Structure 1
C-alpha cells in the first residue's frame, strides 16, 4: 500500500513548481525555497486568519510533496502511478494478462508480450509488482496486468 493512495490525487510536481524530468537536486532547491516562503513563522500577525490558514495549507502540501518526491522509492512509485493514470485516460484496455502469460527475458530482466500491431508490452519484475497497466512500445494499446489474489 502506497502512502499517498489515501490522499486525494494531487500533482506533487506542480506543487513544487516542477515536472517529472526535474532532477532531485533541483526538486530539493525548489522545495527549500517554497518551504521558507510559506513557513508559518514567516507571516506577520496582522495577516487575515484565512490567509494564514491558506499559507499553512500550502506549507503542508509542499512538505508532503517533498516527502514523496525527495525519496527515491516513493518517487518511483508515484511516477509509476502517474504513468498509470495517464494510460487510463488514453482509452480502453485491449486485454487482461497474468504475468505468467508473459515471456521472461533474462538479458534485460523484463517480462514481455507481443502486441497485435507488432510492437511489444514490457515490464520489469519490480514494476510488475507496482503497476497494473502497460502500454505497447509501438501503438496506443494498453494491457491490464492481473495479479493473483
Structure 2
C-alpha cells in the first residue's frame, strides 16, 4: 500500500466520505468499466485498467484498518512534501558550536539552524546501514529555523563524516 496514487481520487471521492459513499462510487465505476460490460470495444484495455484501479482502491478503503493505515501514510507524505525547504547546506559550511556540542548556521531572518553532533552521528550510522548496497554516499537531515518557518537540508558525505568522527 503506497501513497503514490491517490485512492480517493481513483474513486472520485474525498477522504471525508463515508464507507457507504465510497461503496457507491466504487459500484458506479465497476458498472461503467467492468470488462464484461465493455465487451470487445477498443476502449476495453483502458476500461479494464480503470476497473482494476477502482477495485484496488476499494479493497484498501473499504476496510477500516487498511483505510486508517492508508490515511496515515497519505498524511505523512503530504507533510513531507509541504515542508518549506529554503536551501541545502553542507555540514562543512556550518560553524561548530563548542557550548552546544553541535553545528550552527544563520538563517536570513536572523535566527539559526542547529544540528547536534549526536544527530549527525545517528543519521550517519542509520544511512550507512540502509544504503550499503546502493552505494549512497551522502547523509542529511532536515533542520528548522529556531525563529521562522524556514528549514534547510543539512548534508554531508558519509565517508568524510565517518573519518571526522574517528
TM-score by length of 1: 0.54
Counterpart position of 1:30: 25
Deviating runs (4+, > 2 A) in structure 1? none
* Alignment partner of 1:90 out of 82, 87, 95: 82
Number of matched residues? 89
Give the helix-richer structure, 1 or 2. 2
| Unpaired stretches in structure 1, ≥5 consecutive residues | 94-139, 142-149
* Alignment partner of 2:46 out of 54, 57, 60: 54
Residue by residue over 1:11-65, the C-alpha shift from the partner in whole angstroms, topping out at 9 and shown as x without a partner, is: 00011100101111100111111111100000133x22xx211110000000000
| Unpaired stretches in structure 2, ≥5 consecutive residues | 86-148, 151-166
TM-score by length of 2: 0.49
Let me know the Cα RMSD of the aligned residues. Answer: 2.4
3-state SS of paired residue (2:16): coil
Within-5 A mapping of 1:12-23? 12-23=7-18
Distance, in Å, in 1 between the alignment partners of 2:48 and 2:39 is 13
